[in-house]
Chains A and B, each alone.
Chain A
């Protein structure tokens, strides 16, 4: 029995304090990164569309870059703390693993027919495990691809790993798209199951 399961049974904490603190710092940082990132994208769009000014941050390219390169420190430092604690406390292993394809299929089916149970918020279903693991991975990819776009000379080995500067921009974009996709589902579900939102604030 690990320390956390003892705590769990003692006061039924769903999310320990460090998870909640990291979660909300990350939420703010990621929104600033996305809003400013969209404005930066608009300066030289990769595809045939731009983001409406009303949802971008920074006013123009220079302002957006200032926001982006300020919030990146918050995102990265907070992210490193979160991942480190997630590994060291065993929370990732306990909550997110294993992910079995058969269980994912079954839970996707249950979710689509609105039969997926949410009785125990401390236990993640297979779809949640997949999405939470996936978004952590997308977070790692977005930081590394961002670093390779920011410093394609000093960190050129990393840039090469992403297929060069121009390709790294696409990787960075698609990682953003994955995170935004996650966010839409994540926020929608939190609103559908308000208890889960409360748990991320109060811990219970």
Chain B
């Protein structure tokens, strides 16, 4: 089952393994240190004038600058291209920093979405309540930070609509998400309010299967795949950037498309 070829030329299992293999050490926050990473630069300059810490510091600053640049070109009215049903990638690939078999299993009966931070109503939401929210649909392209892409069909309620319902302070800077397996993600408020940013409960009009993030995924077609958290169990409207799983490991924070 997991050996099936999901997108032409790409083995899904290898993709997952890739993410783990490409990262030298999961616990390592310093992602550039070491001869392997700077070898090519040493080769370029002919001497080791740039040490790891300096390079890393400069690159982090540029990445922050790039966050600003991306926020500046982001337009809330610019919609991600949509596709016909015939364009949907079937089967749609599973993505995660773990194997598909290790994906979290959330109990839909006892599930409650925690809502915290700068909101008027912090009442947790059961799945039954969430399913009564107005439903919109989108067929958009999921683009992975690794470069590959796949077109999927997602149904759910616009996040902006939900934020309005819970009386969120939309002047706040961020929305933070926490997932069942411990994955976290922070997005900027303009993206949270983008009309295509969706609290997703269905894939191709079927209740989200476990591998696609049951019971809830945040679908953001204006951001790279890793900024689309699955198995979301809590959200917080906040002015503090709490970072995220991959962002803390070195991926660009904004990661807009």
Q: Interface residues, chain A, CB within 8 Å of chain B?
A: 28, 31-32, 35, 40-44, 53-63, 65-67, 69-70, 73, 149, 151-154, 156, 160, 165-166, 169
Contact = CB atoms under 8 A, between A and B. Distances in A.
* Closest CB pairs A-B (n = 10): A59-B37, A62-B250, A44-B147, A43-B146, A70-B62, A44-B146, A66-B59, A153-B257, A57-B40, A35-B40
SS of A interface (majority): helix
A40 B145 CA distance: 9
Contacts of B66: 69
- Which of A66, A69, A169 has the most chain B CB atoms inside 10 A of its CB? A66
A60 B25 CA distance: 10
A28 B74 CA distance: 30
Contacts of B256: 151, 153-154
B147 A62 contact: no
Contacts of A43: 18, 22, 145-147
A172 B242 CA distance: 34
B249 A153 contact: no
- Which of B24, B37, B149 has the most chain A CB atoms inside 10 A of its CB? B37
Interface stretch (B28-36, B125-133, B166-174, B178-186): B28-36
B147 A59 contact: no
Contacts of B32: 58-59, 63, 66
Interface string B35-53: 0110111001000000000
- Which of A35, A61, A67, A152 has the most chain B CB atoms inside 10 A of its CB? A61
B63 interface: yes
B10 interface: yes
Contacts of B213: none
A67 B66 CA distance: 12
Contact of A28 (B31, B44, B79): B44
Given A32-B44, A54-B39, A59 B81 contact: no
B90 interface: no
B257 A66 contact: no
Contacts of A166: 149
Contacts of A73: 62
B250 A66 contact: yes
Nearest to B52: A59
Interface residues of B, number: 45
- Which of A32, A43, A63 has the most chain B CB atoms inside 10 A of its CB? A63
13 contacts: A43-B18, A55-B40, A56-B40, A61-B22, A63-B59, A66-B32, A66-B62, A66-B63, A66-B252, A70-B62, A151-B73, A152-B143, A153-B222
Given A59-B31, A59-B34, A59-B37, A153 B78 contact: yes
A61 B62 contact: no
A70 B41 contact: no
Given A43-B22, A61-B23, 4 more contacts: A62-B31, A65-B252, A165-B141, A165-B143
A53 B36 contact: yes
B244 interface: no
Contacts of A152: 81, 141, 143, 257
B111 interface: no
B16 interface: no
A57 B37 contact: yes
A89 B146 CA distance: 42
Contacts of A65: 145, 250-252
B62 A58 contact: no
